[in-house]
Amino acid sequence: MKRRQFLQRAAAAGAAAALTPDGGAEAPADGEAQNKRADPSPLPRRAYGKTGIELSVIGFGGILVTDETPERASAMVKRAIDCGVNYFDVAPSYGNAEERLGPALEPYRSRVFLACKTLRRDRAGAAEELARSLARLRTDHVDLYQLHSLTQREDLEQALGPGGALEAFQAARDRGQIRYIGFSAHSAEVAVEAMRRFPFDSILFPINFATYHKAAFGPQVIREAVERGVARLALKALAKQTWAEGADRSRHGKCWYEPLTDPGEAELALRFTLSQPVTAAVTPGHMDLFESAVAIAGRLRPLDAEESARLVALAEGCRPIFRLAEATGTGS
């Protein structure tokens, strides 16, 4: 089935699909083949904007290798590569993830799309952190560098203002240390404003069934990104809700939210996220959740009307991990 047909059928499944008018991720640019799949893979790939690059619909979150042994980290990365994953995302704030991911990814570096981030909002700090990340990741460039976790308007003003981190990004891009510039955000309002202020290549944002349906958090970001041609990368596809007080977190201690562990619920949730016009979804920081996502994506199909209704009902019983600022009474 062609991608456009897939998305058209997903839209017809009902409100849970809620696709935007463009029908999904952009088609690859003519003559561009870098990072495209050379061999058949169980994982579908989709266009990353209009760059000609295609990414696996499941991304490997660097937090997966945090606190793992070097041997274990290498085995995890090899497993991901063997599954057809070519999109890896990491950040300095993920403990020792960069130190573990760099050596593990080194044998495959030319075959993958590597994304990194910085929480620094000033030019000098961002430049310093980029240099440190490149050294830890054992590479001379990252494919995508992102302003990490834009949450408050103050973050945006500083990063995009005079002497801000964005100046360091643009200088690094001119030097060939960065190919594309993006950002991640946990505020819908700030995310929309960021896209209006600068032509980012992509946004990494929570596209989650519960926040989307119960909290109306996400549709406005997708609309803005589609309208402006900003590629969409998804977070929190397998999040269920905030942890209940006293809940046992021992199995998934890297998750600050309760993940979806029921196989049926997880499948519906991930298929919902990948039925939106997104390129890929980055999984939570545990290998069992990653393996589950890869398996689901390998048999990806649109939600039907009955499944969409079940997912909406499931969302109604959840405590969404994000809400709009005006709904919570807090500023953004």
Residue 35: pLDDT band (50, 70, 90) is very low
CA dist., res. 84 & res. 241, Å (int): 29
What is the pLDDT, as a whole number, of residue 254? 83
CA dist., res. 204 & res. 113, Å (int): 14
Nearest to 294 by CA among 83, 86, 112: 83
Please answer whether residues 210 and 315 qualify as being in contact, where contact means their C-beta atoms are separated by less than 8 angstroms. yes
Residue 321: pLDDT band (50, 70, 90) is confident
Share of the chain above pLDDT 70, in %: 86
Hey, where are the domains in the chain? Answer: 46-318
User: Which is more confident, 290 or 14?
Assistant: 290
User: Residues 136-152, buried b or exposed e (16+ Cβ, 10 A)?
Assistant: bbebebbbbbbbbbbee
What is the pLDDT, as a whole number, of residue 160? 98
Q: What is the mean pLDDT of the segment spanning 267-288? A: 95
pLDDT at residue 283 greater than cutoff 70: yes
Name the token pair of 118. Answer: 């910085």
What is the pLDDT, as a whole number, of residue 38? 44
User: Which is more confident, 15 or 217?
Assistant: 217
Q: Which CATH number is 46-318's, of 3.40.640.10, 1.20.1250.20, 3.40.50.1820, 3.20.20.100?
A: 3.20.20.100
Q: What is the mean pLDDT of the segment spanning 198-227? A: 97
**pTM of this structure:** 0.85
* pLDDT tens-digit map of 1-22: 433 343 333 333 333 333 222 3
Q: What is the DSSP letter of 164?
A: B
User: Which is more confident, 27 or 168?
Assistant: 168
What is the pLDDT, as a whole number, of residue 325? 83
* pLDDT tens-digit map of 39-90: 445 799 999 999 999 999 999 999 999 999 999 999 999 999 999 999 999 9
CA dist., res. 186 & res. 312, Å (int): 22
What is the pLDDT, as a whole number, of residue 285? 86
Residue 251: pLDDT band (50, 70, 90) is confident
* pLDDT tens-digit map of 110-150: 999 999 999 999 999 999 999 999 999 999 999 999 999 99
CA dist., res. 2 & res. 215, Å (int): 32
What is the pLDDT, as a whole number, of residue 253? 79
pLDDT at residue 191 greater than cutoff 90: yes
Q: In this predicted structure, which of 218-232, 240-254, 293-307 has the lowest mean pLDDT? A: 240-254
What is the pLDDT, as a whole number, of residue 326? 59
